[in-house]
Amino acid sequence: STDAFSWNSDKAVGKCFSCGSGYPTKGGQYFEWVQDKYPLPSFDTTPPRVAEVAYRGVLSATFALYDVVTKVNSAGDVVEQRYTYPSGNEKVRREPKAFSCVGNVSTELFGSNKFPRGCSKKITITEGELDACSAYQMLNANSGKFTNPVVSLPSATPSNEFWTNVQAYFSGFDEIILSVDTDGAGNAVADRICSIFPSKTKRVDHGLLKDANDFLRAG
């Protein structure tokens, strides 16, 4: 059942309260979408190790700038990334796309500690940490200087406390460039920022591509 299913992303287990079955079920058969939405842990028992590796087109040096910790399995495949926020709290991404947090990151901007308020005339905002790394790498590849700061929202639906916390930071830039998804949540975020800074907010037209990482991988 999709309505009566409870999923624990940390333990990668679930339970259906409609039929009483647990997930994963030994020898169970599932719809094709199930293991993408509810990823099962790898059967590789070797503990993951921290490695400096490129991932989804983002170079290890870019990850190092943002204090992103990448873990790989025994085959060298990325299994986890930890995105460190200014407070030291972390958002954890486990492959293929399961998120959890260590501490509270909901009131912070990822990457804002790397780019002081007013350090540049413009700043780019993305909707995810990997997208921030991707956009930064593209924008600064040929500049010779790190002149194009990029930060990320903690989620597509930030809290009211978040908006209060970041207004002073954003006010230090002449232009705010939004690179957010073209969906309901992305449009709502764009509307909110535009309402706060109507005269200096612009939005990237993503066209057929979803986000900044898609742009990077598409060349």
Distance (Å, rounded) from C-alpha 154 to C-alpha 149? Answer: 16
CA distance 197 to 171: 8
Cα diameter, the chain: 60
Q: Taking a C-beta distance cutoff of 8 angstroms, is the pair 188, 157 a contact?
A: yes
Say if residues 133 and 63 touch (Cβ distance below 8 Å): yes
Residue 198, both tokens: 């109507």
Structure tokens at 210: 């979803």
Under 8 Å between Cβ of 79 and 98: no
Could you tell me which residues are beta bridge partners of residue 90? Answer: 84, 102
C-alpha span between 35 and 80 (Å, rounded)? 17
The C-alpha atoms of residue 107 and residue 51 are separated, in whole angstroms, by 29
**pLDDT at site 45:** 59
In this predicted structure, what is the pLDDT of residue 144? Answer: 59
Question: Tell me, what's the pLDDT at 11?
Answer: 67
Q: What is the pLDDT along the chain (219 residues), one digit of tens a residue?
A: 567 888 776 667 788 888 888 887 766 667 767 766 777 665 555 778 998 899 999 999 999 999 999 999 988 999 999 999 999 999 999 988 888 899 999 999 999 999 999 999 999 999 999 999 999 999 998 765 668 999 999 998 888 899 999 999 999 999 999 999 988 989 999 999 999 999 999 999 999 999 999 999 999
